[in-house]
Amino acid sequence: MSGATDALPPAESWLGGRLSLRQPPRGAHRAGTDAVLLASAAAAQAGDVVCDLGAGTGAVGLAVARAHPEARVMLVERDPEAARLAGLNAEENGLAARVRVIEADVTAPGRERRAAGLLPDSVDLLLTNPPFFEAGRHRASPVAVRAAAHGFPEPGGLEAWLRTCADLLRPGGRLVLIHRADALPACLDALAGRFGALQVTPVQPRTEAPAIRVLVAGVRGSRAPFALAPALVLHGPDGRFTERAEAMHRGETP
């Protein structure tokens, strides 16, 4: 391995010091507020197998492992360097005994996913922040790893990603995803027929501003109706985080 590969980024305090997280340098994909919101929405139950799909360096899954000591967590990531850091982060936070890192392509054919350890009907709670852009619909970053994290390489990527989510979850298993607000119709289309009890929480930067993100929760195989939850507002008039958003960034239950 090269010296550049072996070099480690510094550990950063995350969630008010509840986690120490090594992330790639700025310019690559890094966990931020989206990861905080997704982790905060994870209502894990005792004994759950939790999957962080597209885990990056493990921020979401490790936050869940820290908050729920009885949960077992899978961190699934395609990029080898991010997967390496995810494993290191699990070790350095004392969570490696309950956290498994799987290096795999979420949108690969089922046979390849199973060979990598992604087994059907094996997960109770699945958390995911899919790439935000379909192929050909955005200007890709010149940084290869950032481009791969932010956009699908082939058309139909989101549908394939959410199909994998349904495959991994047990019947009755719960899904929570975060995405761009304008991608909500595509998300709902991809979830149709696979998930019910869908609940959408709009995420607004300020009370008077349109939503920029949506948190979408659902239950595999449920026929319960759709629900629209009250919006989560991130910033108050002074530009600071709202009390609820600040609590989430400290790793506290909202």
CATH number at residue 77: 3.40.50.150
Whether pLDDT at 79 is above 90? yes
- For the ranges 17-26, 99-108, 192-201, the lowest mean pLDDT is seen at 17-26
**Mean pLDDT (whole number) for 162-178:** 98
Helices (H), the chain: 3-6, 33-40, 59-67, 80-92, 110-116, 144-150, 157-168, 184-191, 243-249
Q: Which pair of tokens denotes residue 14?
A: 């995350």
Q: Which pair of tokens denotes residue 55?
A: 């885990």
Question: What pLDDT sits at residue 147?
Answer: 46
107 in a domain, yes or no? yes
Quote the percentage of the chain above a pLDDT of 90.
82
Question: Angle formed by the axes of helices 59-67 and 80-92, to 10°?
Answer: 20
**Mean pLDDT (whole number) for 134-158:** 58
72 in a domain, yes or no? yes
Identify the residue whose tokens are 């298993």.
Answer: 173
Q: How far is CA 131 from CA 123, 151, 250, in A?
A: 21, 5, 25
Q: How many domains does the chain fold into?
A: 1
Measured CA to CA, the distance from residue 219 to residue 52 in angstroms comes to: 16
Measured CA to CA, the distance from residue 214 to residue 15 in angstroms comes to: 21
Supply the pTM of this predicted model: 0.89
Tell me, rounded to whole angstroms, the distance of Cα 187 from its chain centroid.
14
Boundaries of domain holding 43: 30-249
Question: Angle formed by the axes of helices 59-67 and 33-40, to 10°?
Answer: 40
Taking Cα atoms as reference points, which of 72, 74, 71, 69 lies closest to residue 86? 74
64 in a domain, yes or no? yes
Mean pLDDT computed over every residue of the chain: 91
- For the ranges 35-39, 104-108, 136-140, 222-226, the lowest mean pLDDT is seen at 136-140
Taking Cα atoms as reference points, which of 215, 149, 103 lies closest to residue 140? 149
Whether pLDDT at 103 is above 90? yes
227 Cβ contact partners less than 8 Å away, ≥ 6 residues apart: 197, 198, 199, 200
- The DSSP result for 204-236, as a single string, is ESSTTSPPSEEEEEEEET--PPPEEPPPEE-B-
Measured CA to CA, the distance from residue 116 to residue 103 in angstroms comes to: 7
15 Cβ contact partners less than 8 Å away, ≥ 6 residues apart: 36, 39, 63, 66, 249, 250, 251
16 in a domain, yes or no? no
Question: What pLDDT sits at residue 30?
Answer: 86
Whether pLDDT at 152 is above 80? no
Whether pLDDT at 4 is above 50? no
